[in-house]
A and B are shown apart, each in its own frame.
Chain A
């Protein structure tokens, strides 16, 4: 099995199609606020067949490309869970919105209040819950997504699902989403610093600004390619953990850089940078955050020798 480390013409067309659809969608549908999911954009993708690529015989790499593109143009849409994780973890119908939840203390589940079903990770086990089988407690947060805490109801009998596949695909989708957000944030910040003049020159001509954005670009490209690589072999634990570890480790640095170079305007809703950075802040904590991914990767790569 070989993998091309470049996009095929068909994959380029796919990316451009997703971008085009979401750009047109944006003309008549403003970005929803941070406490709402972008379900209208999700619907636009569904109506154009971009959420059932796997069911139509497409590859996980192609789904990852859709997740990347959606992160940039519809960052509040729950694309990864719907198009990659759900179809690969269970054959059951999951409804319009799938929540990805885990039993880890303090963890937050995106789109929890609106989800019709949940894929729930509990240590080395995983189950598929219907909405009526869990309690959802909304949590107020400013970080880009509507979130809640999900607790299975006492006595609920739920269908077991493949926990390994859930963790791997969740990590891949997470990395793809982070990569798309990083790239969008870096491009927006680059445009701004090129047009912002202080002391008689563009601040984008200053090397300290350039280097922060160039490093952010390196992080975004590495994250995207790690996610694509992991999607190419869905059974490769290490590839998925490496993608999530790198993505979540680099997210905070990219966030800090793009916000810093844009100054105070970067905080404003009007400018739009926080559309990406607030979500980076949230996503870097998912599935336990960088340290959890790193420890998983280390244990997978250097298992305790059998004695």
Chain B
């Protein structure tokens, strides 16, 4: 892939978007994109573990996957579970073929961690919903073909009532995408504005006003199947290689201490990931709690890895050619994206330790 570095994750231009799609098409052709999907939807009915092993190898190698974990890990399975036959026929084959990029329209300016406060409204108008509102922090929106959009379809005293899910083509009239410039990954985060966007009722996923229950489980799926631990562990290998290139003695006690602690944090996060994936495979009612425990550990792992880069390489870790450059961003990003660490800790406190809410 031209210009791709193994530490990149964004899709920065029309050229890299196409190259990322080409990569995923290739995975699909070799049966490596959706191995755990049912055969009827383009998978191989392999175990979830097979998909995890493939994901570890590819993510660890710095694959240009772009947003296609989102499609494979939870949007596709959600459509399989809740979609109409027409929705399955339209949306699943392109995902299984690596042809479709999706974004998720969740957060809003006043609905971040408190997702149930979302205000983007979809008003029924004949056979369509008329959608108006704004989403923010939407990854890959400029490249996406479809948006898994959360909207309010009923104004209710309980904010968790009245939420619905729409599967929205991103080329619909009235959608405006603006890029948000960030410290981290350029061209990846966006605001998405909906101005009188018509979405057929036939593109609603699941029952009207019942979206919250659906999304609560889906969010946990988002947290456990991307093998970040493998990416972090291999970045530590890159760190050691960079240190050796700079004649830094990795036997030095302080250097070895930093490396070992980061490696142990990655090992901890890996085993907690496996525990959560096992629960997911078993359809255990403990899965969402275990996903929160894993997610909290992954954020800690990312911070420890960042510390190791600074401890070993010093200022060199901030050179954009160093694997440390992206590690520093990851150390910040991991505690925020996919549900903040604080939300995970809330869930653990309430659901596992049974601490009182009031």
**Can you list 29 residue pairs at the A/B interface with Cβ under 8 Å?**
A4-B278, A5-B274, A5-B277, A6-B275, A6-B279, A186-B353, A202-B356, A202-B358, A204-B355, A207-B346, A211-B345, A213-B353, A214-B296, A217-B352, A218-B293, A226-B268, A242-B263, A242-B268, A245-B263, A246-B268, A249-B264, A290-B261, A291-B257, A294-B264, A297-B260, A297-B263, A298-B255, A298-B257, A298-B259
Most chain A CB atoms below 10 A, which of B256, B268, B279, B356: B268
Residue with the greatest number of chain B CB neighbours at <10 A, chosen from A210, A214, A223, A249: A214
| B259, B293, B356: the one within 8 Å of A205 (CB) | B356
Query: With contacts A245-B261, A246-B264, A302-B259 known, is A210 near B349, CB below 8 A?
Result: yes
A-B contact sample (8 more), CB < 8 A, given A213-B349, A304-B251: A207-B346, A215-B296, A218-B297, A225-B268, A226-B268, A242-B267, A245-B263, A294-B260
Q: How far is the CA of A301 from the CA of B345 in the complex (A)?
A: 31
* Residues of the A chain whose Cβ atoms lie less than 8 Å from the Cβ of B269: 222
Q: Is the CB of A213 within 8 A of B278?
A: no
**Is A301 in contact with B355, judged by CB distance below 8 angstroms?**
no
Complex: A274 Cα to B244 Cα, angstroms: 45
CB distance from B258 to the nearest CB of A (A): 8
- What is the interface of chain B mostly: helix, strand, loop, or mixed? helix
- CB closest residue in chain A, given B266: A242
Question: Is B240 at the interface (CB under 8 A from chain A)?
Answer: yes
Restricting to B189-239, which residues have a CB under 8 Å from any CB of A?
237
Cross-interface CB contact of B353 among A214, A238, A249, A297, cutoff 8 Å: A214
Q: A249-B264, A294-B256, A294-B259 are in contact. Are A210 and B250 (CB under 8 A)?
A: no
**A298, B266: Cα distance in complex, Å:** 13
Task: Tell me if A225 and B271 are in contact (CB < 8 A).
Answer: yes
A127 to B23, CA, bound (A): 56
| Complexed CA–CA distance, A202 and B354 (Å) | 12
Q: Are B296 and A194 in contact (CB under 8 A)?
A: no
Q: Report whether B358 and A205 are in contact in the complex, using a CB–CB cutoff of 8 Å.
A: yes
Residue pairs across A and B with CB atoms within 8 Å: the count is: 144
Contact B272 A194 (CB under 8 A): no
- State which residues 217-251 of A face B: CB under 8 Å: 217-218, 221-223, 225-226, 229, 238-239, 241-243, 245-246, 249
Tell me if B357 is interfacial: C-beta within 8 Å of chain A. Answer: yes
How many chain B residues sit at the interface, stated as a range, is: 35 or more
Return chain B residues, CB-CB under 8 Å to A302.
237, 240, 250, 259
| Per-residue contact bits, chain B 267-288, to A (CB 8 Å; 1 contact, 0 not) | 1110110110111001010000
Docked complex Cα distance between A4 and B277 (Å): 11
Given contacts A211-B345, A214-B349, contact A246 B267 (CB under 8 A): yes
Q: Is there a chain B Cβ closer than 8 Å to A190's Cβ?
A: yes
Determine the distance from Cα of A56 to Cα of B291 in the docked complex, in whole angstroms: 36
Q: Is the CB of A221 within 8 A of B272?
A: yes
Chain B interfacial positions (CB closer than 8 Å to A): 237, 240, 244, 250-251, 253, 255-261, 263-265, 267-269, 271-272, 274-275, 277-279, 282, 284, 293, 296-297, 300, 342, 344-346, 348-350, 352-358
Which residue of A194, A213, A222, A293 is within 8 Å of B260 (Cβ)? A293
Q: Is A142 among interface residues, defined by CB-CB distance under 8 A?
A: no
CB distance from B42 to the nearest CB of A (A): 27
Contact B264 A218 (CB under 8 A): no
Q: Are B260 and A298 in contact (CB under 8 A)?
A: yes
With a CB–CB cut-off of 8 A, which chain B residues contact A297? 259-260, 263-264
Which residue of A has the minimal Cβ distance to B295? A218
Q: Nearest-CB distance from B302 to chain A (Å)?
A: 14
In the assembled complex, the Cα of A215 lies from the Cα of B297 at a distance in Å of 9
- Ordered nearest first, which 6 A-B pairs have the shortest CB separation? A294-B260, A210-B349, A222-B268, A242-B267, A245-B264, A214-B348
**Contact digits for A1-31, partner B, Cβ 8 Å, 1 yes 0 no:** 0001110000000000000000000000000
Nearest residue, chain A, Cβ from B260 = A294
B237 proximity list for chain A (CB < 8 A) = 302
Return the chain A residue nearest B276 by Cβ.
Answer: A5
Contacts known (A205-B358, A218-B297, A295-B253); A301 close to B263, Cβ less than 8 A: yes
Q: Which one, A210, A229, A239, contacts B345 given CB within 8 A?
A: A210
